Amino acid sequence: MKAEIKVPAVGESISEATIGEWAKKSGEFVKRDEVILLLETDKASVELVAPNDGVLTTQAKPGDVVKIGAVVAFIDTEGVATAGMTQPTKNTDVQKATQGPALAISATKLIAPELKSHLSPATKRVVEERGLDASQIKGTGKDGRLTKADVLGAVASSPSPSPSPSPSPVVGGLGATAANYSTPLPVVRPSGGTRGERRVPMNTIRKRIAERLVQSQHTTATLTTFNEIDMSAVNTLRERYKEKYKERYGVSLGFMGFFVKACVQALKEVPEVNAYVDGTELVYHDFMNVGVAVGTEKGLIVPVVKDADLLTIAEIEQAIRHYALKAREGKISVGDLSGGTFTVSNGGVYGSLMSTPILNPPQSGILGMHKTEDRAVVVNGQIVIRPMMYVALSYDHRIVDGKEAVTFLVRVKEGIEEPSRLLLEI
């Protein structure tokens, strides 16, 4: 059976690599996990190892530029070696090969010196640069083979040479000598620590989120504008009426009801933010379905508060709580997530101070709320401490101009800083 040796993915931005040096010759027998090739990229050198025992057949020469995923060699698990190391026979008995008890030494002692002469390219380079004797270094690799870490460890444990009477050149103007910039010491991870990785399949929700985000970046001309809001008035209202409000409506008086209501008022004045682009046409909605982003264990979802322009603040809060509970119980339906014309996302619940939210196509606007923080601001010529929140409006510049976007955000700011405007709809 022939096993393919492919160029592995070595980084998100790397699409090709260069064949650096073959550690084994074509036609040579190689063992599983034995280094066979050194790949060179623009960021690092990568060692490829044999996936199984067999005879190596190379398909590329040193210096060749190969694409990620390209086949550069084969290993024939049933082949016969034609070059280099002789293919080992099964059930090799070292003691039988060494006639007499005086020569009955362990297999490890016979194998180790031979293996130490077959160094990987990276290990060989360090040995040659440091002028080391590989036979004097204990190998910890398979069958006593020397690894790069073994060589670097030997360098670290060896006594430092006497300083030269002549001054060393200064590097970087910081008093560090060129000798300080040698190959770094091997990192020893804490006991039990690993540097492994796990592959976990995306769940359906995460796949959809990924598709929508990429679609948004590719199909819209997104721009973001910012403002800040003094939350003093809303905080005072919440503190004064929170108990009576919960007693009457069964939900807590939160920020989202105020912000959705403020967005509804702003959408009435700037209908472009509630519209979308369809080919060469602009589609305007005569209703306002506001999506509210909700974080769940499976990912971010956006249930939609239908006809939010017809609801009171209490009814908006009740709808948001209803959808949040359904989402966290895994009972949210497709209908609950569809039909939105505008979205509100509150990253402040996670501590975000400022962000640029991504549009939810085909919508043309999304409001990002953030963490409320006490900051020094100027009010009527005086420096005072106020609870302030940064807000961001991301919008599709194909349909919404800067003037409309700024106007929308200013109207939201006015509605939150003077909640009476929301009741009077002015």
CA atoms of 378 and 384, how far apart (whole Å): 6
CA atoms of 7 and 359, how far apart (whole Å): 37
Q: For residue 91, what are the contacts with CB-CB under 8 A and spacing of at least 6?
A: none
The radius of gyration of the chain from alpha carbons, rounded to an integer in Å, stands at 34
Residues linked to residue 48 through DSSP beta bridges, in sequence order:
37
If you ran DSSP here, which 8-state letter would residue 137 be given? S
- Above 70 in pLDDT, residue 111? no
Percent of the chain with pLDDT over 70: 76
Compute the average pLDDT of residues 217-242: 94
CA atoms of 150 and 158, how far apart (whole Å): 12
Higher pLDDT, 213 or 104: 213
Mind listing the pLDDT tens digit for each residue in 361-391? 899 999 999 999 999 999 999 999 999 999 9
Higher pLDDT, 374 or 119: 374
CA atoms of 38 and 123, how far apart (whole Å): 11
**Residue 37, burial from CB neighbour count under 10 angstroms (0-12, 13-18, 19+):** buried
Higher pLDDT, 283 or 423: 283
Query: What number of residues does the chain have?
Result: 426
Compute the average pLDDT of residues 238-243: 92
Neighbours of 330 (CB within 10 A): 9
pLDDT for residue 132: 75
Higher pLDDT, 27 or 112: 27
Question: SS3 for 45?
Answer: strand
Question: SS3 for 209?
Answer: helix
pLDDT for residue 317: 93
- Above 50 in pLDDT, residue 280? yes
- Above 70 in pLDDT, residue 346? yes
Structure confidence at residue 23 as a pLDDT band (50, 70, 90): confident
Structure confidence at residue 110 as a pLDDT band (50, 70, 90): very low
CA atoms of 48 and 32, how far apart (whole Å): 11
- Above 60 in pLDDT, residue 215? yes
User: Pick from 363, 312, 314: which is nearest to 337 by CA?
Assistant: 363
CA quadruple 59, 64, 67, 73: dihedral, nearest 10: 20
Question: Where is mean pLDDT largest: 83-97, 136-150, 410-424?
Answer: 410-424
118, 285, 322, 397: the active-site residue: 397
Alpha carbons within 13 angstroms on the beta-carbon side of residue 211 total 7
Higher pLDDT, 110 or 120: 120
pLDDT for residue 267: 97
Compute the average pLDDT of residues 251-260: 92
Task: List the structure tokens of 387.
Answer: 């609870």
Question: SS3 for 234?
Answer: helix
Q: Is 397 a catalytic residue?
A: yes
Q: In what order do the strands lie in the sheet with 2-6?
A: 2-6, 71-76, 54-58, 29-30
Compute the average pLDDT of residues 23-30: 88
> Alpha carbon 167 to chain centroid distance?
46
* Longest CA pairwise span in the chain (Å): 107
- Above 50 in pLDDT, residue 403? yes
Mean pLDDT of the chain: 80
Q: For residue 17, what are the contacts with CB-CB under 8 A and spacing of at least 6?
A: 7, 10, 39, 40, 41, 46, 65, 66, 68
DSSP labels, 146-200: --HHHHHHHHHHSPPPPPPSSPPPEETTTTEEGGGGSSPPPP-PPTT--------
Answer whether 422's CB lies under 8 Å from 261's CB: yes
pLDDT for residue 231: 96
CA atoms of 129 and 118, how far apart (whole Å): 17
Mind listing the pLDDT tens digit for each residue in 156-195? 666 555 555 555 454 444 444 555 555 666 666 666 666 7
Q: Which amino acid is at 50?
A: A
Assess whether the previous peptide bond of 362 is cis (omega < 30° from 0): yes
Q: Which amino acid is at 39?
A: L
Q: Is 118 a catalytic residue?
A: no
